[in-house]
Structure 1
Amino acid sequence: MKILAKIFSEILHPLLMPFYGILMMFYYSYLYILPLQYKWLVLGGVLLFTCIIPALCILLLYKTGKIKTIGLNHREDRPIPYAICLISYICCGILLYRLLLPPWVLGFVGGGLLSVITAALINIQWKISAHMTGIGGVLGAAFALASMQHTFPIYLFIGLILATGILGTSRIGLGCHTFMQVITGTLNGFIWVFGCMTLCAGIPVV
């Protein structure tokens, strides 16, 4: 079971969540009409700034002994990686702004940025789940898309909710987080992303 938990933790790694979120928007919103080359440009930029660069920096920190584990399992290991992710999100947001993507897409990145800041602040005193913050953000994006379009594939909702539950169970099973850390992380990602996307789309949050 621990092997499966580790596999889910890697597939649903927080550094991959922005990529998954943008990919979801390209398939399940009016953005599907955009040219394929443009989509690849956006996805490549998102993957570079929010996954590849932070991952390489974390690996460098581990190799130089600045952090104890590459999985950032200790609260003390997280401040510098959080700062790196913060800068990466800002760069990603600038890229998407220059590529003229709609405001609600920028809201997705902005919500992710705010969730990272919140997690970093909470991390000063208490360990919060970055994995659950990431998938909570994608779940929030799905709800925001449904609010904007008044339609969204039910199978994707079910899949995201199941994935959230499986990931949370995996993180607890691996001994990385407590139940409350998992719940808090999920709410952190969900609230910020859903709120920012709906605000940028001009939809009242009720």
Structure 2
Amino acid sequence: MKLISRLLSWIFSPLLCPTYAVIIIFIISQLALVPAGVKISSVVATFITTCVVPAGVIMALYLMGYVSDPGLNNRTERTLPYLIAVICYVACIIFFYRANAPLWMLLFMGGASVACVVNIVVNRWWKISAHAAGVAGIVALIVRIAVDNLAIVDLFWWMTGSILVTGAVMTARVYMQRHTLWQVVAGAFNGFICVYLATMIH
């Protein structure tokens, strides 16, 4: 169980969730019809800006002694890395804006940015779960795609799978004693609400 929990935490790291989301968008939404080259460049750009760069910064901070753990398990050490993550999200939004991506896709990234800002604020006093926020944000994205009739496939299994993954990740974080039950619930609520409300704007 411990190994499974660790694997879930790594596979569904908050740094990877934006990339997963973009991949899902290109599979289940109308954007599945765009050229393969556009899909690949978009996924690569998302991966670099929201995963590679933040991960590199975190490792640099770890090597410099600013953070004691690359996993950022100490909530008091999360502020700067999370701020860097927000900047990276903004860079990703700019990329998609210049690529003429639809507004709802920009708003998804915007909602994820807001969720990250909420995490920064809450973490000053309480260790809210970024993992839960990340996976729940993907659930919100799929729900919005369904509600706005943007899907080109049956979303039942996508919805079911994303909810099960969210529950599994939340369970893993509690099992590993990285968070309490309420901290993962709060994280999931934060991620879902921020993305869902942001994507309603259009």
Q: Which residue of 1 aligns with 2:146?
A: 146
CA distance in 1, matches of 2:150, 2:30: 13
- Residue deviations 1:94-123, cap 9 Å, x none? 000000000000010000000001110111
After TM superposition, list the pairs within 5 Å mapping 1:1-206 onto structure 2.
Answer: 1-149=1-149, 152-200=154-202
CA contact (8 A) 2:15 2:50 kept: yes
Which amino acid in 2 is paired with 1:88? C
CA distance in 2, matches of 1:174, 1:57: 25
CA contact (8 A) 1:133 1:189 kept: yes
CA distance in 2, matches of 1:35, 1:6: 36
Which amino acid in 1 is paired with 2:197? G
CA distance in 2, matches of 1:70, 1:148: 38
CA contact (8 A) 1:148 1:198 kept: no
Q: 1:82 to 1:38 in 2, by over 3 A?
A: same
Q: Give me the TM-score of the superposition, normalised by structure 1.
A: 0.95
Shift of 1:198: 2.2
Question: Structure 2: 5+ residue runs without aligned partners?
Answer: none
CA distance in 2, matches of 1:166, 1:59: 27
Point out the more displaced range, 148-157 or 81-90.
148-157
CA contact (8 A) 2:30 2:150 kept: no
Could you list the runs of 4 or more consecutive aligned residues of structure 1 that deviate by over 2 angstroms after TM superposition? none
CA distance in 1, matches of 2:56, 2:68: 16
CA contact (8 A) 1:49 1:92 kept: yes
- Residue deviations 1:166-190, cap 9 Å, x none? 1000000000000000000001000
CA distance in 2, matches of 1:171, 1:191: 20
CA distance in 2, matches of 1:48, 1:98: 17
Q: Which residue of 2 aligns with 1:203?
A: none
CA distance in 1, matches of 2:2, 2:81: 25
Shift of 1:150: 7.2
Q: Please give the root-mean-square deviation of Cα atoms over the aligned residues, in Å.
A: 0.9
